[in-house]
Amino acid sequence: MSIKELLKGLKPTKEALIKGGSTALVIALCATSSLGVLQVINHMPNATVLADSETSAGTTVAESSVLPSETDESQPSETIEPTESSPASETSETETSGTTTTSQTTTETTIGESEFYLAVYATSTLNVRSGPGTEYDVVKQLNPGDQIDVIAITTNGWYKTYNGNYVSIQHTTDVAPTNTPTPTPRPTSASTTRSTTRATTRATTTTATAVAPTGEAISCRITFYGPQPNGDGTYSTSTATGTTCVQGRTCAADWSVFPAGSTIYIENDPLGGDGYYIVEDRGSAVKGHIIDIYVDDESGWNTTRRNVYAQ
């Protein structure tokens, strides 16, 4: 066989060329598809390429499908945070609400009080109460013109008195009554009787060291006392001068200011009498310008202040 015939036998036929071209095209398409899948995987968020260009598309997709589940493992911690903070928020709201309620209650019930010193007078029959308001108990009643020693004023319109009770400001005035009686001599018969009484008591031996000037008014604090306990269940009404206490007549004083047995006149008599008293008693707490008036029951009387004249 000649070389020309041999080369002719090796020359591919048209059918072989078509078949070979088809096979090459299929292989090229498969390679192109694999490369496309790898490009998509490489651009996915949180995706990791686990295979190179020679890895098949099926293997890459299978291995990459695990990645989303691994990423999801971090999700529960993000979900728990709001749940854990919820009780704190509720507690904070509850505490804030509680604080607001308490603050409002305090503001509504608190009554301010500040020091305020003044002598005022009742303008009508006046209730003295245990607190600054009409809802408090009535301790006693004052008559028009009665003097009230004020030591404090409240924000709701009440005066606090010297002994801790309260009167309404709107029923008082700081202008002294104009109908206050002036001191007048006692009738002769009464003066003689009192002089005789003083002569029979120990008061005649007492020497005053600082007698109040006659005719001059001295502002004095007026207090009240009653029968004194003896310690055995009984009570004594005997005075330091040896007399028996009588309401409306007997009073205790500092004998260095108002001598024992002397007659004094208390302006605008707190007991509603004529204002004349005899200094028949004394006490350890009665010092200086203090007059302690005897009453049968001191619980119904309040400390006040009056002008006192020595007779």
pLDDT at 113: 92
Per-residue pLDDT of the chain (311 residues; tens, 9 = 90+): 566 666 566 666 667 677 777 777 878 777 777 776 666 666 665 544 444 444 444 444 334 444 444 444 444 444 444 444 444 444 444 444 444 444 444 445 689 999 998 888 999 899 999 999 999 999 888 888 888 989 999 999 999 998 899 999 999 998 888 755 555 555 544 443 343 333 333 333 333 344 444 578 899 999 999 999 988 999 999 999 999 999 999 999 999 999 999 999 999 999 999 999 999 999 998 999 999 999 999 888 999 999 999 87
- For 305, residues 6+ apart whose C-beta sits below 8 A from its C-beta are 119, 147, 149, 162, 219, 220, 221, 222
Q: What angle do CA 223, 284, 205 make, to 5 degrees?
A: 105
Ordered structural domains, the chain, with CATH: 20-72 (no CATH), 113-173 (2.30.30.40), 188-310 (2.40.40)
pLDDT at 212: 46
pLDDT at 205: 36
- Helix then strand then coil, in percent of the chain rounded to 5, is 35, 25, 40
Q: Rounded to an integer, what distance in angstroms lies between the CA atom of residue 32 and that of residue 53?
A: 11
Pairing of strands 304-310, 217-225: antiparallel
pLDDT at 183: 56
pLDDT at 226: 94
- For 291, residues 6+ apart whose C-beta sits below 8 A from its C-beta are 220, 221, 222, 223, 251, 252, 253, 258, 264, 266, 277, 306, 308
What tokens appear for 260 in the block?
A: 């024992």
pLDDT at 6: 61
Residue entry with tokens 């005719």: 215
DSSP 160-183: EETTS-EEEGGGEESSPPTTPPPP
pLDDT at 46: 52
Q: Rounded to an integer, what distance in angstroms lies between the CA atom of residue 247 and that of residue 270?
A: 12
Q: What angle do CA 37, 35, 52 make, to 5 degrees?
A: 95
Long-range contact set of residues 131-139: C-beta below 8 Å, sequence gap at least 24 = 131/166, 132/156, 132/158, 132/160, 132/166, 133/158, 133/166, 136/166, 139/165, 139/302
Dihedral class, residue 70 (left if φ above 0, else alpha if ψ from -120 to 50, else beta): alpha
